[in-house]
Amino acid sequence: MARPVTLFTGQWADLTLDTVAEKAASWGYDGLELACWGDHFEVDKALEDDSYVQSRWDILNRHGLKCFAISTHLVGQCVADAVIDERHRGILPDRLWGDGDPEGVRQRAAEEVKNTARAAKKFGVNVVNGFTGSPVWHLIYFFPPTPMDMIDRGYREFADRWNPILDVFDEVGVRYALEAHPSEIAYDIYTAQRALEALNHRPAFGFNFDPSHFVHQQFDPVEFIDAFPDRIYHVHIKDSRVTLSGRNSILGSHLQFGDHRRGWNFVSPGHGDVDFEQIVRALNRIGYNGPLSVEWEDTGMDREHGAAESVEVVRSADFTPSAQAFDAAFAKD
């Protein structure tokens, strides 16, 4: 059976949920992955008012859509970042930013992620996707000379901040899926392994697999699936294209996304360097049957054109594994 194709609403938060749902249904999506910003899924309202939760389902049901996960990327980022500044102010509601004191922001964000687990349970989904922030990302270049003890302390801080959050996820039976990503505690295979070790491999913590963050780092996304077959809790379909010209680099050159001078950019699925067929084969190997959720990002393309096209790209790439060897029919009784 083909996996459900969903649309992540994070890039559509300027529209009401009802509007996004109507559009997604018309394009042929099976469901939505609801962002916890805009009016799509508001955690505080979900916990305060049972009718709010029902109102989300009423909208989805009216358009024949399902939901398998909600996502708290923006708040999750603020839990463990070493530096809290105006960038974070721009992604948080006033009630979480407060007076902007960095540790206060981190603590309020942590409580919000705990509440997101509770709201997810109330809503009836068992996966929350998101970011973690990182106490060590700012140390990535190892200059000035960086002692490994600083990295060790950073991973311990990550565990200290996230273990109490994951205790709540365990209590309510929901899992947290980190989107491994530059600027997070895990951005490649080695850092993902270290993040799992820091948390003593507790099952509440796994990954939202998104290959677009790996190809420009120049490692094979399939290797990530093979490395963590029991930790792929959700899958994003997103693409990126590397355009190294001899004048730029994979570091982005402090240029905004979409600038043609960058060494890479996100593009609509099927227009970049991600090999979705090999990813589907790897997902088949590990027995992943969850949604394939389009996270649409391409500054060079109209988003409605891209989102509509992406459904067909995903459906054409997805296939179920064979139940028998191709040469089984040749065998004699």
The answer to whether residue 231 is domain-embedded is: yes
Q: Where are the alpha helices (DSSP H) in the chain?
A: 17-27, 43-48, 50-62, 73-80, 86-89, 94-97, 102-123, 148-172, 189-198, 212-215, 221-227, 276-286, 303-317
List C-alpha distances in Å: 322 to 39, 288, 318.
42, 14, 13
pLDDT at residue 119 in the model: 98
Distance CA 323, CA 332 (A): 18
Contact assessment for residue 178 and residue 131, using Cβ atoms and an 8 Å cutoff? yes
pLDDT at residue 328 in the model: 61
pLDDT in tens, 254-295: 999 999 999 999 999 999 999 999 999 999 999 999 999 999
pLDDT at residue 242 in the model: 98
Domain that holds residue 137: 5-322
Q: DSSP labels for 150-164?
A: HHHHHHHHHHHHHHH
pLDDT interval class at 323 (50, 70, 90): confident
The answer to whether residue 112 is domain-embedded is: yes
The answer to whether residue 330 is domain-embedded is: no
Find where tokens 């003593």 sit. Answer: 200
pLDDT at residue 257 in the model: 96
Q: Are strands 239-242 and 264-267 parallel, antiparallel or unpaired?
A: antiparallel
pLDDT in tens, 158-198: 999 999 999 999 999 999 999 999 999 999 999 999 999 99
Give the domain CATH number at 201: 3.20.20.150
The answer to whether residue 77 is domain-embedded is: yes
The answer to whether residue 333 is domain-embedded is: no
pLDDT in tens, 77-104: 999 999 999 999 999 999 999 999 999 9
Find where tokens 């049957």 sit. Answer: 289
pLDDT at residue 2 in the model: 87
Q: What is the mean pLDDT of the chain?
A: 96
* Residue 322: pLDDT over 80: no
pLDDT at residue 300 in the model: 96
The answer to whether residue 328 is domain-embedded is: no
The answer to whether residue 332 is domain-embedded is: no
The answer to whether residue 114 is domain-embedded is: yes
Specify the number of domains making up the chain.
1
Tokens of 106: 């981190």
